[in-house]
């Protein structure tokens, strides 16, 4: 009896250690994503900060007038507040991506997570001359899950899709993120117009250390599968009929 209890404890300890290592790898992967986003985040911050500076300089000129236009000053202050909020949202998205915290399971809308992911990567897609678009379902897709982890999965898929599309001629570089409802499931698909996945490699893409990138570690899709399966979902890849590949995620809808 004591031997059985000991083996159960060992198995439980091993499970905890695996879970801890997986969480650490996922956190490392988020830092890797943030590193690739550095240029686009700087660009996205530069716009509202530049607008704030312009408005502040304009306000100084208005105040130098013998009779300052209070209506114009109110508009300037409103613009400054709006741009400050934009900059804060950029930093908040980055902070959420990088935070190292226990899993936070709560009610979510998959549409919103997909939209935020596209918005976060839009500056990067512009810099890389890739047409990134999102098409969300007309009605909310309520699910339960960890928002940071699920966004991490979608960001990984979009960035991989952009890598694939970037090898094509400029006019053919497209990445599309689509959400839909299928019976009692919410789905998000990320498709690209790249050259597709070799048929013999499709079943291997989610294996640890599988990569086609010269600088890649091959952990992004493996971590994505771990996260999706922890949310009682499924993730799979397939080639499109014309050209390119599409990755699907299916998650159970919340009651």
Cα gap 180→110, rounded to integer Å: 9
pLDDT tens digits along 196-243: 888 888 888 887 655 655 555 556 788 888 889 989 999 999 998 888
pLDDT tens, 7-56?
A: 666 656 555 454 455 555 565 566 666 666 666 667 677 778 888 999 89
Query: In the prediction, which pLDDT does 18 show?
Result: 45
Domain positions in the chain are 2-97, 103-252
Can you say whether the dihedral through the CA atoms of 108, 110, 115, 117 is positive or negative?
positive
- pLDDT per position as a tens digit, 87-133: 887 777 667 666 655 567 899 999 999 999 998 888 889 888 999 99
Categorize the per-residue pLDDT at 252 as very low, low, confident or very high, splitting at 50, 70 and 90. very high
Sheet holding 234-239, edge to edge: 131-135, 174-182, 185-192, 245-252, 234-239
Fold adopted by 103-252: Heat Shock Protein 90 (3.30.565)
The class that CATH gives domain 2-97 is mainly alpha
Phi, psi of 156 (to 5 degrees): -60, -45
Both tokens assigned to 203? 């079943």
Highest mean pLDDT among 144-148, 158-162, 176-180: 176-180
Does the pTM surpass 0.75? The reply is no
């Amino acid at each position: 009896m004591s031997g059985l209890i000991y083996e159960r404890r060992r198995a439980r300890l091993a499970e905890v250690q695996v879970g801890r290592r997986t969480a650490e790898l996922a956190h490392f992967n988020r830092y890797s994503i943030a590193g690739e986003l550095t240029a686009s985040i700087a660009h996205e911050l530069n716009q509202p900060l530049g607008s704030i500076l312009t408005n502040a300089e304009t306000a100084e000129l208005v105040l130098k007038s013998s009779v300052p236009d209070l209506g114009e000053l109110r508009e300037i202050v409103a613009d400054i507040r709006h741009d400050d909020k934009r900059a804060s949202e950029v930093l908040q998205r980055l902070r959420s991506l990088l935070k190292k915290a226990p899993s936070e399971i709560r009610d979510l809308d998959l549409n919103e997570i997909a939209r935020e992911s596209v918005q976060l990567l839009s500056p990067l897609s512009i810099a890389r001359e890739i047409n990134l678009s999102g098409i969300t379902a007309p009605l909310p897709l309520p699910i339960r899950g960890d928002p940071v982890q699920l966004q991490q999965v979608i960001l990984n898929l979009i960035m991989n899709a952009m890598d694939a599309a970037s090898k094509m001629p400029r006019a053919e570089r497209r990445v599309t993120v689509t959400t839909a409802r299928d019976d009692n499931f919410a789905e998000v698909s990320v498709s690209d117009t790249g050259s597709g996945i070799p048929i013999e490699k499709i079943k291997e893409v989610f294996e640890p250390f599988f990569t086609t990138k010269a600088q890649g570690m091959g952990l992004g899709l493996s971590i994505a599968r771990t996260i999706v399966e922890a949310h009682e979902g499924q993730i799979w890849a397939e080639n499109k009929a014309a050209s390119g590949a599409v990755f699907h995620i299916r998650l159970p809808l919340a009651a």
